[in-house]
């Protein structure tokens, strides 16, 4: 497993990558942060501001 910070972006309506998988990954990685956004598979693009904020905040 990685010892680096990890940002996992997920959404409830994603049919290609179920949210349960993202939550499972977040539980397995010790330094993971889960960013849950509204929308489907590419919802992270429509919520890019909050995604970048989370990404930059895990850098320290």
| 36 is a domain residue | yes
Give the model confidence (pLDDT) of 21-46 as tens digits. 999 999 998 888 898 888 777 776 67
Structural domain containing residue 24? 19-59
| 8 is a domain residue | no
| 46 is a domain residue | yes
Give the model confidence (pLDDT) of 40-57 as tens digits. 777 766 777 888 888 888
State the total domains in the chain. Answer: 1
| 10 is a domain residue | no
pTM as predicted: 0.72
Give buried/exposed letters for 39-54 (b at 16+ CB in 10 A, else e): eeeebbeebeeebeeb
């Amino acid at each position: 497993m990685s010892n680096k910070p990890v940002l996992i972006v997920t959404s409830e309506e994603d049919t290609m990558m179920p949210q349960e998988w993202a939550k499972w990954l977040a539980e397995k990685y010790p330094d993971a942060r889960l960013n849950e956004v509204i929308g489907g598979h590419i919802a992270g693009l429509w919520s890019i501001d909050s995604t970048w904020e989370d990404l930059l905040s895990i850098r320290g």
